[in-house]
Amino acid sequence: MTTMPSQSPQTVKLAVIQMHVTDQLDDNVGRAEEHVRDAARQGARVILLPELFENLYFCQVEREDYFALAHPQDGHPFIGRFQNLARELGVVLPLSYFERAGQAHYNSLVCIDADGEVLGNYRKTHIPDGPGYEEKYYFNPGDTGFKVWSTRYGRVGAGICWDQWYPETARVMMLQGADFLLYPTAIGSEPAEVESPNSHHMWQRAMVGHAVSNSSYVGAANRIGTEIVGGLTQTYYGHSFISDYTGELVAEFGDTDEGALIHDLNLAEARKFRAGMGFFRDRRPELYGPLLTVDGVTRRG
């Protein structure tokens, strides 16, 4: 069950971090910490790092060796470090990591509150499978359902990368009471043989659509730089952004910027606007049965 605070904050300063990544965990974690500290110095209270920032995006290829990068949540090599950091700085950190649970492996995210407490764990629901993004080889489909956490600075809803393309993800988190939506991601160029477009515009438009149809702020954090894994090369296109509750891009990085992208979220105004738009008033969930099927045919009995 998603719990909600008795009173939500009126405003919050959000930061999304855009950064390059190497094949050295200590290097990546240290750089991520410095970005978090810099964002906190600028007043950010909720700070989002990119997806799987601990290493190169190994899912370019299928290699058994990369399963060794996964760790259980308990005793994880860097979650505790970011708990201490969140407590020290008084910030909320939704944190992406590669999780091992028994014989299963997940693309996961913990939400660390401003006192350092881990509020819960989300396992990525939608797992892509295609050239350069071979995630089904590594990750079991998430089994947690979508999550919204009541933090010191509002109700945080977070999906992970491929989740960001699905309106169902955003809608469920908003129905669970999210004040704003966050998406850590790792996305960039496609292999030469892939026919789909290589454009950050489509990626942004999908999430801006969630902002509009849910009257919600949306923030996305991407990586940058060129990474070579298993002989394959991908260049990550950055363009991390924050959208307001009308779908306007109020803050955006380019394809090489590194650092903290920061914007003040007026949650009170967003709640007022959301109620006035009537999207949630006019929903007809009793007619949405086909959404619970694969082929659009609602079966009874």
Residues annotated as catalytic are 51, 124, 161
Residue the block writes with tokens 């999550």: 147
Task: Name the residue among 7, 85, 92, 83 with its Cα closest to residue 45.
Answer: 92
Residue 34 carries which side chain, given as an amino acid letter?
Answer: E
Both tokens of residue 183?
């998406």
Q: Can you list the alpha helix ranges (DSSP code H) found in the chain?
A: 25-41, 79-89, 135-138, 167-175, 200-214, 267-277
Residues 227 and 231: their CA atoms lie apart, in Å, by 10
Task: Name the residue among 251, 173, 166 with its Cα closest to residue 206.
Answer: 166
Distances (CA, A) of 287 to 83, 296, 299: 43, 12, 13
CA 127 to chain centre: 13
Taking the alpha carbons at both ends of the chain, their separation in whole angstroms is: 29
